[in-house]
Amino acid sequence: MEVEKSGAAGSGRAATLRAVDMEQLHLPVMLAETMEYLAPKPGGIYVDCTVGAGGHSREILRRLDGRGRLFGIDRDPAALELAARNLAAGGEQVILVPGRFSQLGEILRSLSLAWADGFLFDLGLSSMQVDEAQRGFSYQQEAPLDMRMDPREPVSARDLVNAMDRESLMRILRDYGEERWASRIAGFIVHARSQRPIATTAELVEVIKEAIPASARRRGGHPARRTFQALRIAVNNELEELSTGLQQAIAHLAPGGRICVISFHSLEDRIVKRTFGQLRQDAGWEILTPRPVGPQGSEKERNPRSRSAKLRAVARVLTVKEAE
């Protein structure tokens, strides 16, 4: 992979992007708790694997106190544009790189980084991705059925919905969306697309509503929520990417360093819990969060996105010899 690096000043390629107030665009979830467990130190090297608009990265940068380096990675080109603008004050301390979790080791090698003092993963969708209707992530806004975090990737949600066989669709909805009506929804999708391709989010929502019995639609939130989650995970290969990325972060964590992960649904949290749990057998690691940490009540009210968030953290133990 050829790594394209961009400084924090940004390239300005996207005409629609502008410097923004990050508190209006995207509230970083559990910022105080994340900083407590990540514990950034002046002069350290930190990697924000989902830099987004730069909310968490800005606080990491502040704690570096003018020393050390911050590397921000994101697979979403629009997110990197915003991060470049919002982290411009960091100057040469900040390096932003496009990439996926599974490319983390390769990215670090390309940057001549053998170790980092901390890795942060803030999973799921950001507010800016959901709010930009044309990205096709939201079941509440009509848009092309897309859901790609990186628009350059070849397969969109429209491709999956219109090309996969019924059994494969059913498995995606069941396994990634934990959708009770997976089989029925898959059948309705196959029938609908036989009439004409399902091209927009609104068209898919209507098919889902028809598939789920009226009594079931009256409870449990929006009837399309689980299906959209499942398709998004499948389009972006999110669970496999997470599993691989965590292993690579573990392999490149410096002694005394920490890894923090914020997840938003049980499938993600299960992978994080299992991966960190495997380190429990190794004396060189310490689980910092025996149970996941959730947001405070005030944050839940201020930022609804945080309500389902879970933070887990692990540390690589600094031995006496390494401390010397």
Out of 6-10, 200-204, 241-245, 278-282, least confident range: 6-10
Residue 22: predicted pLDDT: 41
Calpha distance 137→118 (Å, rounded): 30
Q: Is the pLDDT of residue 171 over 60?
A: yes
pLDDT tens per residue, range 149-160: 999 999 999 999
- Maximum average pLDDT range among 2-11, 116-125, 130-139, 166-175: 166-175
pLDDT above 90 as % of the chain: 75
Residue 323: predicted pLDDT: 52
Q: What is the mean pLDDT of residues 256-271?
A: 96
To the nearest 10°, the Cα dihedral for 250, 45, 318, 269? -40
Calpha distance 202→218 (Å, rounded): 19
Residue 219: predicted pLDDT: 79
Q: Is the pLDDT of residue 10 over 90?
A: no
Out of 26-35, 56-65, 265-274, least confident range: 26-35
- Around Cβ 267, how many Cβ atoms within 10 Å? 18
Q: What is the mean pLDDT of residues 151-171?
A: 97
Q: Is the pLDDT of residue 83 over 50?
A: yes
Residue 266: predicted pLDDT: 93
DSSP one-letter code for 309: -
Q: Is the pLDDT of residue 310 over 70?
A: yes
**What are the start and end residues of each CATH 1.10.150.170 domain in the chain?**
135-236
Q: Is the pLDDT of residue 9 over 70?
A: no
Tell which wins on pLDDT, 133 or 201.
201
Q: What band does 301 get if pLDDT is binned at 50, 70 and 90?
A: confident
Tell which wins on pLDDT, 257 or 214.
257
- Around Cβ 110, how many Cβ atoms within 10 Å? 16
DSSP one-letter code for 88: G
Tell which wins on pLDDT, 297 or 232.
232
- Around Cβ 213, how many Cβ atoms within 10 Å? 10
CA distances from 324 to 187, 255, 319 (A): 64, 12, 9
DSSP code string of 12-34:
---TT-----HHHH-PPTTHHHH
Out of 161-165, 213-217, 221-225, 253-257, least confident range: 213-217
Calpha distance 135→138 (Å, rounded): 8
Q: What band does 246 get if pLDDT is binned at 50, 70 and 90?
A: very high
Residue 304: predicted pLDDT: 78
CATH number of the structural domain 6-128+238-323? 3.40.50.150
Q: What is the mean pLDDT of residues 299-320?
A: 85
The per-residue pLDDT of the chain, averaged, comes to: 89
Out of 60-64, 124-128, 138-142, 241-245, least confident range: 124-128
pLDDT above 70 as % of the chain: 89
DSSP code string of 245-274:
HHHHHHHTEEEEEEEEEEE-SHHHHHHHHH
Among 82, 85, 267, which residue's Cα sits nearest to residue 173? 267
Q: Is the pLDDT of residue 312 over 80?
A: yes
Calpha distance 143→137 (Å, rounded): 9
CA angle 25, 244, 33 (to 5 degrees): 45
Calpha distance 191→120 (Å, rounded): 43
DSSP one-letter code for 144: B
Q: Is the pLDDT of residue 320 over 70?
A: no
Residue 315: predicted pLDDT: 98
Q: What band does 12 get if pLDDT is binned at 50, 70 and 90?
A: very low
pLDDT tens per residue, range 85-114: 999 999 999 999 999 999 999 999 999 999
In CATH terms, the superfamily for domain 135-236 is Putative methyltransferase TM0872, insert domain (1.10.150.170)
**What are the start and end residues of each CATH 3.40.50.150 domain in the chain?**
6-128+238-323
